[in-house]
Amino acid sequence: MTDLYHLIDNDLTCSPTGDLQSVDGLTLGNQRVLRRLLTAPGSYFWQPDYGGGLPACVGQNPSADALIAVIRNQLALEAAVAPQPAPVITLAPITNGVVVSITYVDAVSGGQAAVTFNVNP
């Protein structure tokens, strides 16, 4: 499956020929995972239940177990993430936030995928 290349909080990207950049494979899966986890629930009009809202969690001081539970629940809803084997999620505290690292199996290709990102308020 091909989609438009789009990193959350950025504009669409142009290809070297001036067309809109497309994406597929593991990069598409990573973009979908990031979008789901960092989108606030209720911000998509047509899908009000979509999103994990991780940035809003940072100022609330949730436990690591609570954050991992949110991430795990959202990954279970994401079509790009294979349910087995279960994704491996690790958290590391940073100043005013947390670093999230996720390793999962891409549901389309069967390849191992990894995404790491900072969550700051």
* H or E segment to which residue 67 belongs: helix 64-77
Report DSSP letters for 38-58, one per residue. Answer: HSPTT-STT-TT----HHHHH
Rounded to 5 degrees, what are φ and ψ at 48? -65, -20
Which pLDDT tens digit goes with each residue over 48-100?
999 998 888 766 777 889 899 999 999 999 999 999 999 999 999 888 888 99
**At 91, which CATH number?**
3.10.450.40
What's the whole-number average pLDDT of the chain? 85
Rounded to whole angstroms, the Cα distance separating 19 from 90 reads 37
- The CA angle 52-57-47, to the nearest 5 degrees, is 25
Q: Express as a percent the part of the chain with pLDDT over 90.
A: 45
Number of domains in the chain: 1
Instruction: Give the residue numbers spanning the domain of 26.
Output: 3-119
